[in-house]
Chains A and B, each alone.
Chain A
């Protein structure tokens, strides 16, 4: 027997073994689309049922009211809510049997997705299939934007977790397409009034609100408002840059970064903007961040005694922010024009650490003040504290840095006190307060 013959035998055997279910299929495939068809099959009634009917009817009246109301409860009460967020947000309410009670689009994109599909009474899986299909068809999920958030809200946490797991596997499978694989975020929602309030305030789903909270946890870089305008995909990218903290969000698959320029390209752009070559820089750091609702690469590096802080739009490569600060003479260069005043050897070894330490002693102060008529860092601190009306004991997180701004030597000071964050610039020669900023410390 050849392999082909075996195939043929198997094919035929299964073909003939396949039962005929067309009539039953047909009878179940009409109501939903609003078409009228004559029922093809009617169920046979057993004859002996008839005489018993009246007795049964009486019983039914009694039992029926009890059971019926319970059944009604089971069938018509929302047992779980599943929300799907991409940018379209859609909420699916199901009963205890996981039959769909309602599909509610939560934003304009959601309405496009839901269209006029009617899922009432159908299986949750069927609804999810169709919704994901529609998201793919309408291009909301693609090679560039492959993230989806599934949030399950169930009063019974065990059932909720099980449903979450099942849907995640299911959606993940649906998103294994030819051109891309999906990245599925999932979580069970901790229903709380705070979360609901937050979601309502910003007009987002509780699921998205909870995801943002998860990203914010242990991260002071962003505020809630910063993250609200971001899509789930962008939030997923942010989440992926954080160490997998103790969040409840489970991630399957990787967020596509194809729509973004990438760290290497961002670095090149920054180098070009700064006019330096890659060999000249040190202390390079790059991080995905947000600025005014867009994703940016935040780059920090030092070169030639300058510290650079640069933000580049992660999608377009536009330089959003570019800051260059003098930071002390580089170890391998001799004095240059703007730093002649402090170009002594003692300043070089400690210059980089000053920026982040609490130190108030600058290498420049003792050596150069007399010659330059420059105030000490300690003096600058005092001026700032006086201006802010706080005492040294109240202050925490103090940072100070000597900088050149348009040729003027200034001290830049940052500190926290009494729930506020202060930012100062003090003219290093005159001691004048050039800039003062006070913000609620979050």
Chain B
């Protein structure tokens, strides 16, 4: 397991302040701060990217590009107490950019994503099951809502803002998705 995988159980509010402080340090050129930010947020970025792209290779590239963008763009970040939402916006933009590029070079077929799941013992069978359920049983939007909620800890209201959807839509999609996952995983 990577040294960064020790995901912390931190409270969202504290985390926001932390991330704000980290972004400030990053804007001043601190790579240590970038490393910490990476450690705290990488699974949020990756899961959101994977939800949109449904392709582990592309999601991995976006994960990389996201932190490079943050490094260069941190100076322009303005704290609104929503550092993670800011990063999610960057992530989504990078994903959309990738989708556009993919359309341009339409020669790469949409490969079965499961083939690319890491097979180096990082994932247990059950974890693979959960991931494949998320990617196969849920629509792209449902998947984004579920991962933003479960992995990144966003509230439904924040997800609605982020995805530009009505709150009622987010709620109903979320409940439907969780119900379906529950059925599938039991």
Contact = CB atoms under 8 A, between A and B. Distances in A.
B38 A25 contact: yes
Interface residues of B, number: 59
A13 B67 contact: no
A123 to B, nearest CB: 7
A11 B151 contact: yes
Interface string B106-128: 00000000000110001110111
B78 interface: yes
B46 A17 contact: yes
Interface string A409-426: 000000000000000000
B166 interface: no
A29 B67 contact: yes
B72 A136 contact: no
B123 A21 contact: no
Nearest to A24: B64
Interface string B36-62: 001000110011001000001000100
Nearest to A9: B130
Contacts of B118: 17, 19
A52 interface: no
Contacts of B93: 125, 170
B63 interface: yes
Contacts of B117: 17
B73 A130 contact: yes
B185 A14 contact: no
A132 B68 contact: no
Given A16-B123, A18-B42, A35-B29, A130 B64 contact: no
Contacts of A25: 34, 38, 64, 67-68, 71
Given A6-B181, A25-B64, A177 B80 contact: yes
A194 interface: no
B77 to A, nearest CB: 5
Contacts of A406: none
Nearest to A32: B72
A173 interface: yes
B154 interface: no
Given A29-B67, A133-B75, 12 more contacts: A6-B182, A6-B185, A10-B146, A10-B150, A11-B43, A17-B46, A17-B50, A18-B63, A19-B60, A35-B31, A133-B76, A134-B75
Interface of B: 1-2, 4-5, 7, 29, 31, 34-35, 38, 42-43, 46-47, 50, 56, 60, 63-64, 67-69, 71-73, 75-78, 80, 82, 89-90, 93-94, 97, 117-118, 122-124, 126-128, 130-131, 134, 146-147, 149-151, 161, 164, 178, 181-182, 185-186
